[in-house]
Structure formats: C-alpha cells, structure tokens
Structure 1
Amino acid sequence: MSPVHDGPAGVHCRLDELLAARSMSLTELSKRVGVSIVNLSVLKNDRARAIRFSTLVAICDALDCEIGDLLVRDHA
C-alpha cells in the first residue's frame, strides 16, 4: 500500500521559477488570471490537491508557457 501524502505525490509546481524568470509577482499574476493570491500560493507551495483546467490555461497564458513547464513530476 502506498503512503498517504498531504499534497499530490509526485507533482511539483514550478510557479516560483516561472514568475522569477518573467520578473512577475504573485500579485500581478493573481490580477491577470483572476485567481486569489491565497490559491496561487497553495499551488506554488505544492499544497494544491486539484486545479481546474481553465485555471491552468489562464496561468499558462499569463506566463506564456506550457502546462508541462508549470507542472512537473517530482522524482525526489
């Protein structure tokens, strides 16, 4: 039986890195995509259990990236 994890086991969100590369703040991203800073912070800190496809698309549009750039497998 696999262990129980607090977050989505094996998935890492690279939001911090993508924001830094674009010199964009979490506040600015929040305004652009219409998602609260709190919810973006949950995603950014790998604590999200789910995310809507429409939110993924909005974040990727705002950051000019692909979903695979934002969410990656965490093999650690």
Structure 2
Amino acid sequence: MPITVDIDVMLAKRKMSVGELAERVGITPANLAVLKNGRAKAVRFTTLAALCEALECQPGDLVRWEAEVRAGTPQEA
C-alpha cells in the first residue's frame, strides 16, 4: 500500500507508549497496533483527529503517501 504510517516516529518524539496513546485516543492497544503497523484498511477522521490532539501534531506527521514501484518500471536513481 502506498500509504505509510509514522505513528512510531511521533510516539518516540513524544516519549509516549502505545498503551498511553491508545488510552488518550480511546481505542484499544490492539486497534492502535493495526493502524500503527499499516494493516488498517481505513481510519476515521475522528480517530485521526484524536491521534493528532494526543500527539500534538498534524495528520501529515502520521501518514504519508509513497509511490509504489511496479515490476518492470525503471526506478529513478
């Protein structure tokens, strides 16, 4: 998937545990792990907003788009 989730980066910057963030956001640590590890198929804006509030960041600090490299497509150097 071309969307990369950088929640780990923000957790490290804020010196916050997954459990603490999950509690502040109001989701289970298991659901946060699914999101954090890039296995989520979707995220609600309310959850994204709660993550941003708890981590004091912008949505772009948590998720970013990266182009997928397709087989047979030359890569730029």
For this pair of structures, how many residues does the alignment match? 68
Q: Secondary structure at the match of 1:46?
A: coil
Q: Secondary structure at the match of 2:64?
A: strand
Residue among 44, 49, 54 paired with 1:52: 44
Q: Secondary structure at the match of 1:60?
A: helix
Identity of aligned residues (%): 47
Question: Which residue in the other structure is 2:21 paired with?
Answer: 29
1:5-64 alpha-carbon deviations (Å, 9 max, x no partner): xxxx20001000100011000000011010110110001101000010000000000000
Question: Which residue in the other structure is 2:30 paired with?
Answer: 38
Whole-Å separation in 2 of the counterparts to 1:41 and 1:74: 21
Whole-Å separation in 2 of the counterparts to 1:74 and 1:21: 22
Question: Which residue in the other structure is 2:74 paired with?
Answer: none
Where structure 1 has 5 or more consecutive residues not aligned to the other structure, the ranges are: 1-8
Structure 1 stretches of at least 4 aligned residues deviating more than 2 Å after TM superposition: none
Question: Which residue in the other structure is 1:4 paired with?
Answer: none
Where structure 2 has 5 or more consecutive residues not aligned to the other structure, the ranges are: 69-77
The TM-score with structure 1 as length reference comes to: 0.85
